[in-house]
Amino acid sequence: VSRAWFLARAPQGRLRADDFELRDVDLPPVAENEVRCELLWLSIDAANRAWMQGATYRSAVTAGTPMPGLGLGRVVESRSPSHPVGTIVAGDLGWREQCVVEADDLEVVRGTRPLPEHLGVLGVSGLTAYFGLLRIGDPQPGETVVVSAAAGATGSLVGQMARIRGCRVVGLCGSPAKQRWLEDRLGYDVALDHRSDTLAADLKAACPDGVDVYFDNVGGPVLEGVLPRMRVGGRIVCCGVISQYDTDSPRPGPAGVPGLIVTRRLTMRGFIYTDFQAEFDAAQTEIAGWLDDGSLQVAQHVAEGLDRAPDALVDLLAGATRGKCLVRIAPETVVAHAG
């Protein structure tokens, strides 16, 4: 038996922690090529809420179904020669204490870096920032890069990677404390409040020559605010639309499309980080180098225990977290193995 979170009902408006229900589930016996894992860490992601709105790049999460989610676990029972007991694995393990999964669906975690980094800077957040910025945005030294949800898991890495590339970096975030953190600790040139009534004027002052690359995590009014500041030939990296996730009535828009795309010769391109799966190893090596030489800082918001998973997602959506949001499911008694 394992405890597991289920989505008890479809959220009405904003997500609430009591939209979820914690249940005991029977674990099936481990079949050929399957493993049983004990969860160590769970990644809480903005996309978790988008999955409840309907099918995206994965099937929808509907009322009455177990909550999926990326996690790190340790193999405690195995019928897979490639994943012996003790192997540390990453994959869609779900919001639960234990799971039985196909070994082929799991990535073996190697190396000696702290385990949670494999969900954050070396996992979904870092790879999304890396490929979205460097492949789709293609920023050149001296260009101006604007990123929204700049203090979040993805955004906090995008801005730092843009700085490493020699760009001027402007971050948009939701509180004065986050603005100070981005400017003082992460090296952003300017951080602006995306809720300010003067956002358009603030952007004009912060980007007097316009914006070359906009890394869009939020869509909605913020995208509408940045569009008129784009330079001719600018690139908009469509990474996500968090401003439209936590609602049952997403807003159409933005205004200015396609007119501004035509006149400014803009490129707007969406992506899912797994599009670049074949290049993950090389990207992780470069990112690990930035961690080692201190040019990339990581921040984590850790909630303790499986019971806290729904609250952690509600907090993330409300802007109450900074950096990578994680839930520690089991005490960290293991480090990744080097083999």
Ligand X SMILES: NC(=O)c1ccc[n+]([C@@H]2O[C@H](COP(=O)([O-])OP(=O)(O)OC[C@H]3O[C@@H](n4cnc5c(N)ncnc54)[C@H](OP(=O)(O)O)[C@@H]3O)[C@@H](O)[C@H]2O)c1
Nearer to ligand X, 43 or 78 (CB): 43
In which residue are the tokens 């995208």 written?
223
Kindly state the smallest distance separating residue 303's Cβ from ligand X, in Å: 13
Nearer to ligand X, 263 or 274 (CB): 274
CB < 8 Å & 24+ apart, contacts of 57-65? 57/272, 57/274, 61/7, 62/7, 62/10, 63/7, 63/8, 63/9, 63/10, 64/6, 64/7, 64/8, 65/6, 65/7
Kindly state the smallest distance separating residue 123's Cβ from ligand X, in Å: 10
Q: How far apart are CA 199 and CA 288, in angstroms?
A: 35
Q: How far apart are CA 74 and CA 207, in angstroms?
A: 47
Q: By the criterion CB under 6 A, which residues form the site for ligand X?
A: 45-47, 50, 124-125, 128, 149, 151-155, 173-175, 178, 194, 217-218, 222, 239-243, 271-273, 316-317, 319, 321, 325
Q: How far apart are CA 204 and CA 294, in angstroms?
A: 32
Nearer to ligand X, 221 or 256 (CB): 221
Kindly state the smallest distance separating residue 317's Cβ from ligand X, in Å: 6
Among 31, 114, 47, CA closest to 313: 47
Nearer to ligand X, 252 or 331 (CB): 252
Nearer to ligand X, 88 or 191 (CB): 191
Q: In this structure, are residues 251 and 244 in contact, taking their beta carbons and an 8 Å threshold? A: yes
Among 149, 206, 165, 196, CA closest to 321: 149
Kindly state the smallest distance separating residue 271's Cβ from ligand X, in Å: 6
Kindly state the smallest distance separating residue 105's Cβ from ligand X, in Å: 18
Q: Check whether the bond before 221 is cis (ω within 30° of 0).
A: no
Nearer to ligand X, 103 or 149 (CB): 149
The values of phi and psi at residue 168, to 5°, are -85, 130
Nearer to ligand X, 75 or 149 (CB): 149
Task: Identify the DSSP state of 87.
Answer: -
Integer angstrom CA distances of residue 176 from 89, 173, 326? 38, 8, 23
What angle, 0 to 180 degrees and rounded to 10, lies between the N-to-C axes of helices 124-131 and 280-292?
100
Kindly state the smallest distance separating residue 178's Cβ from ligand X, in Å: 6
Kindly state the smallest distance separating residue 315's Cβ from ligand X, in Å: 9
